[in-house]
A and B are shown apart, each in its own frame.
Chain A
Amino acid sequence: MDAFIQYTAQGLAAGGFYALAALGLAVIFGALNVVNFAHGAFYMLGAVLTAVLLDVAGINFWVALVLVPVILFGFGIIIERLLVQWLLGLDNLYSFLLTFGISLVLVDVIKIRYGVSGLPYGQPPGLEGLIRIGAVQLPVYQVFVFVFSVLVCLGVWLLLAKTRVGVIVRAATEEPERARALGINVGLWVTPVFGFGVALAGIAGVLAAPFRAITATMGSSFIIILFAIVVIGGLGSILGSVVAGFLVGLVEAYGQGYASTFSQIIIFVLMAVVILVRPAGLFGRKESA
């Protein structure tokens, strides 16, 4: 039972940054119809930047948690203006290939600069040690990651559900041409939404820094799991990406705990089952004609 609670805590923490990153992927797909293959690389950049900022400038975890997403938001805007925007009218295979290329470049740049062995990162100040919950002791950091990512997801939901910006983004996502005919300059919203999605990947990267190996290639396996999450949750579904993010985090943790031989494939078995039972994903809407 104690083991089960520990795996659950691990799963919810991992699920937290899966959910954040998948949310970013879903927002970008929804508003731009871009399947952003570079999302794993942006997540990696978030983690690397967190480690480098501490090493070079002594910037601690808490400041990085604010600063890194802001930097990645700006980086996302530059990438969108410079590269992605030119392919938006075309089949989304083109932007998929473009972002695949972007991810290869980013990974290699980081490899050349920082090598392939991991960058060190300690426990964030104030989040060291264990916390006793009932009969089990859990790392404080895991609990923090879970709570923080739930809060960010909630914040994004409030932004989309309750604000004028959210109304416009939802309208532009559902039917961009109609939104234009109603006087909304859809193009104006596309760039910040892309930056916002990249920033979410960046937050996931910051959260991952203290308990994952920080390497240039950390995003490569991450993006594969992210795509599995997005397929399970339903492509473009905001709620689906969050729920599936936590679900996959849990499944992965139980897999590692109880059936470590199969832990790598168990997520993809889950994905295959979801595709068989609900091809559009758990929260996906059927493709409209």
Chain B
Amino acid sequence: MFEISGLSAHYGEAAALHDVSLTVGRGEVVTLVGRNGAGKTTLLRCAMGLHRDSVGAITFDGARVEQLSPDRRAKAGIGWVPDDRGIYSTLTVFENLTLPPVVSKEAWSLDRIFEAFPALRNRRSSMGTQLSGGEQQMLAIARVLRSGAKLLLLDEPSEGLAPVIVQQIGHIIREAKASGTSILLVEQNVKFAATVADRHYILAEGRVVESLDNSEFQRREGELLVHLGL
């Protein structure tokens, strides 16, 4: 349902991605694993239409989207959770949550959101950045689920969070997957990636160097950890 093919991206003279191709099926969780600077975040920004200096075909839900503006892609059903979570400090938790327009029938109702993220219910009138890091991450994920995004682009959601919060995020990812949502997950936490994903792409220096299913990924975990320097 989501396919990138032949994607290259530059920052000025420097190439960040070389001829990257990948696919994410419906209800599938796919991770992008790689060192810092491998191009993972750039790839998500290209998918969202936020990185201008790129070429390549991006197909989503049967339609080409690489020419669309970021807001049109969001309305088509691509939901981005940036690495800094992107919570607005001038908006309350509730305003942050309801900022994106609802774009599909799969949108989670507020009741379902508050059931899955109980911490947000009690803090709905707090300003967004008064939340803890973990709560902000929950809010960023809840925000795209509430909008009904059919593909989630999650940029290192587990980074810097306590193990119990990471477990909760894993639980949410599995619940979203179970209801048919596709997820492209950027991760450096290999153990966490193995608990939620169906397949993995290993990214190094802007290229996909390997594509593994989860059983193979788990079998070679030790080797990959050394290889990636993670």
Contact = CB atoms under 8 A, between A and B. Distances in A.
Does A associate with B in a complex? yes
A8 B101 CA distance: 47
B interface, size bucket: 20 to 34
Contact of B99 (A168, A173, A177, A185): A168
Nearest to A179: B99
Nearest to A288: B89
Interface stretch (B70-78, B190-198, B208-216): B70-78
Contacts of A167: 91, 95, 98-99
A248 interface: no
Contacts, number: 63
A180 B70 contact: yes
> Which applies to chain B's interface (DSSP): helix, strand, loop or mixed?
loop
A187 to B, nearest CB: 9
Q: Which among A170, A178, A183 has the highest number of chain B CB atoms within 10 Å?
A: A183
A181 B48 contact: yes
Contact of B88 (A174, A180, A183, A185): A174
B36 interface: no
> Which applies to chain A's interface (DSSP): helix, strand, loop or mixed?
helix
A182 interface: yes
A213 B179 CA distance: 68
Given A167-B95, A177-B70, A182 B100 contact: yes
A175 B71 contact: no
Interface string B92-109: 000100111101000000
A171 B97 CA distance: 12
Contact of B101 (A170, A181, A183): A183
Contacts of A182: 71, 74, 80, 86, 99-100, 143, 147
Contacts of B49: 181
Contacts of A67: none
Interface in A11-52: none
A170 B90 contact: yes
B128 to A, nearest CB: 10
A interface, size bucket: 10 to 19
Interface string A196-215: 00000000000000000000
Nearest to A285: B89
A167 B44 CA distance: 26
A181 B70 contact: yes
A102 B194 CA distance: 60
B69 interface: yes
A183 B71 contact: yes
Nearest to A167: B95
Given A171-B99, A178-B82, A183 B89 contact: no
14 contacts: A167-B95, A173-B90, A174-B88, A174-B91, A175-B86, A178-B86, A180-B70, A180-B74, A181-B70, A182-B71, A182-B80, A183-B75, A183-B101, A184-B101
Interface of B: 48-50, 69-71, 73-75, 80, 82, 86, 88-91, 95, 98-101, 103, 143, 147
Q: Considering the complex of A and B, which 5 residue pairs feature the smallest CB-CB distances, nearest first?
A: A183-B74, A182-B100, A180-B70, A181-B70, A183-B100
Interface of A: 167-168, 170-171, 173-175, 177-186
